[in-house]
Amino acid sequence: MAYFHIRSIGFPISLATFALTGAFRGIQNLRWSMWISLIGAGVNLLLNPLLIFGWGPVEAMGIEGSAYASLTAQVAMFSVAVYVLRTRTPFALFPRTWRHPNC
């Protein structure tokens, strides 16, 4: 039950990440979406064994460690997506006005 509770925190983060990577797809740049996905997979790949089995000062958490690793990967992907959106696209994260510029 704890696994699903921890993972449910990451669902809105995942949806927001998908929305941001959808904007990248809209400007036909799939490279950024690919790198964001690879970063998330890398974070999850590194943290899964560390948090599940433990190592050194990190205690073994079992299945809850897997949930925390996935949540951390989702937060990392969202952070990178926001960074790319703010630095490499003409879009704003929060629009100043909801009107179309031509109206």
Per-residue model confidence as pLDDT tens for the chain (103 residues): 899 999 999 999 999 999 999 888 888 889 999 999 999 999 999 999 999 999 889 899 999 999 999 999 999 999 999 999 999 888 877 877 777 777 7
pTM listed for this prediction? 0.87
CB 32 within 8 A of CB 15: no
Distance CA 54, CA 22 (A): 36
pLDDT given for residue 71 in this prediction: 97
Could you tell me which of 5, 1, 14, 2 has the C-alpha nearest to residue 72?
A: 14
Domain extents for the chain? 2-88
pLDDT given for residue 87 in this prediction: 92
C-alpha to C-alpha distances, 60 to 44, 50, 56, 72, nearest whole angstrom: 16, 8, 10, 16
Distance CA 70, CA 40 (A): 8
